[in-house]
Chain A
Amino acid sequence: MVYRQEIMLTGAGGQGLILASIILADAAVQDDKNVVQTQSYGPEARGGESMAGVILDIDPIYYPRITSPTVLLSMNQQSFNKYIKRAGENCLVIVDSTFVEDVGNQPAYSYPITARTRLELEKEIVANIVALSIVNTMADLVSRQALQESVLKYTPEGSSDLNLQALELGRQLTHSYD
């Protein structure tokens, strides 16, 4: 069986998607999977396009770029429009409906990620962790335990509670489709 997951996290620079991809990749290492994480961004610190890719495999990973995503997360309209063309038929598409209003005919799971984070945690800054939690719950990429440990490892001290709540909020949001 071919086990290869190619996860694309896309949005605007500053939304924390590269950090989310690093956390996901680190969790995969803990789960003893082969992993490669890459990113593509412009020279700006905020704004502009941002795309982070994570490839998981049990075989060695040579070419590090994503060729056909199995999971696509879009955190804004611009990135959705750009990267949706690369999503194949079986690609799991997840969007943040706070910023992505038009998904056309694309079957997509749409969650108000940033809006709900703002509302329930009062801090928009962890929207990336909420999104990551949704992606992992839906696509079953890495173990919950590993993801939690990696989130705590890569986020600043003192923000642990907030980040754990963000993980929980992500899981809750996925139940809205049950």
Chain B
Amino acid sequence: MKYRKPQLLQGNEACVEGALDAGVRFFAGYPITPSTEIAEGMARKLPRVGGVFIQMEDEIAGMAAVIGAAVGGKKSLTATSGPGFSLKQENIGYAAIAEIPCVIVNVQRFGPSTGIPTAPAQGEVMQARWGTHGDRPIIALSPSSVYETYYLTTAAVNFSQKFRTPVILLLDEVVGHMREKVSLPASGRLMVEKQNYSDIKEYKPFDERKLPPLVPFGEGVYYHITGLVHDEHGFPTRHPEVVVRFMERLHRKINHHRKEIIMTDYTGHVEPKVCIITYGCTVRSARAALQKAYLQKRWPVSLLNLQTLWPFPAEEVKRLADRCDYLLVPEMNMGQIVGEVEKYAHGKAEVLGINRYDGDMITPGQIFQHIEGCFS
């Protein structure tokens, strides 16, 4: 693959680049620290590629406009942070049931409420999964570097198109605001999900056997979109059999593609005694700790970077639990993903949370201390 010249790029800027390269041509939102640079970048760059940027009156309207543009056939994205993410939840649920592809970027800051606007945290891992009501699956990705932000933004756009679902990209203040040297792939060389509308004669927007693309409104197909539970044609129903088929399809389209959606990055010893399982900016601290424990001390330690948080990489964790004595789960909250790890470790390995919740990153030293504890 060809790469562009190395450049200095901020995480939020990389999100803009990734979105544009993946074909996003519509952004609506309401700026909020620490996600503002995404709105700024989109405002600057979208008009140059024939796209549309709208600053809406609030976050709720931002989400609604993104859904509308997606139905109109544009790849759409919005960006926000904590309080704005809460406001968007109701409309995210609408996108989930109506199966409208869109991407919601949440640059996590310290909460709840206004919290500490400029301080990082990883407090919205569970909100990403369960924030909107009703039982529906979701895809959520979390990058740990500027390059990963670029890459996972394109993945988020592609997943949203292919599976016709809202996809949540969980950044944190550290990754969003950090600048790094990166070489992005030369434009156009990346895989971009393209929709094929050729087979629209027999078009059923909510076909039970397939994953039909969303034919944009105005393209000659008549169908219905609603937040009510609906049949294959989009019309409301409460017929129990249809409702069951509807619910199962909604979950199946994500669960049957777990292999494709779940992305993890494993480094370190192949037969580890201790494995660190983490995500987002905390991966960076873990890598530094791993370097000392594995490369310098030669201890059997490894690291699993969860680029996909939802659906949860259950198989990966199960396999590690079979082989390891300890699973360490550092995160910048009082324990969220650690519960999932415990669930799938199923008592086969001891699961230890490492937490920090004072508005700054977990240090490599803090993680190393726990690794050391496992070997003494």
**Residues of A near any B CB (own CB < 8 A):** 22, 25-26, 28-29, 32-43, 61-65, 67
Contacts and interface: CB of A to CB of B under 8 A. Distances in A.
20 contacts: A22-B179, A25-B179, A29-B6, A29-B181, A35-B8, A36-B180, A37-B8, A37-B178, A37-B179, A38-B174, A38-B178, A39-B177, A43-B117, A61-B180, A62-B288, A62-B291, A63-B284, A63-B285, A63-B287, A64-B284
The prevalent SS among residues of B at the interface is: mixed
A43 B179 CA distance: 20
Interface in B157-200: 174, 177-181
B264 interface: no
B288 A42 contact: no
B363 interface: yes
A33 B6 CA distance: 10
Contacts of B33: 43
Interface string B1-30: 000001110000000000000000000000
B107 interface: no
Give the one of A25, A29, A32, A40 with max B CB within 10 A.
A29
A-B residue pairs, 6 tightest by C-beta: A37-B179, A62-B287, A62-B288, A63-B288, A26-B8, A29-B8
Nearest to B283: A62
The prevalent SS among residues of A at the interface is: mixed
Contact of B8 (A25, A32, A67): A25
Tier of interface size on chain B: 20 to 34
Contacts of B360: 65
Nearest to A27: B8
Give the one of B177, B179, B287, B361 with max A CB within 10 A.
B179
A33 B117 CA distance: 32
A42 B118 contact: yes
Given A29-B6, A62-B285, A65-B361, 4 more contacts: A22-B8, A36-B178, A63-B287, A64-B361
Nearest to B182: A29
B41 interface: no
Interface string B338-376: 000000000000000000000011011000000000000
A61 B178 CA distance: 12
A61 B33 CA distance: 25
Nearest to B281: A64
Contacts of A42: 118
A39 B178 CA distance: 8
Give the one of B7, B8, B174 with max A CB within 10 A.
B8
A65 B174 CA distance: 9
Contacts of B288: 62-63
Contacts of B284: 62-64
Nearest to A150: B8
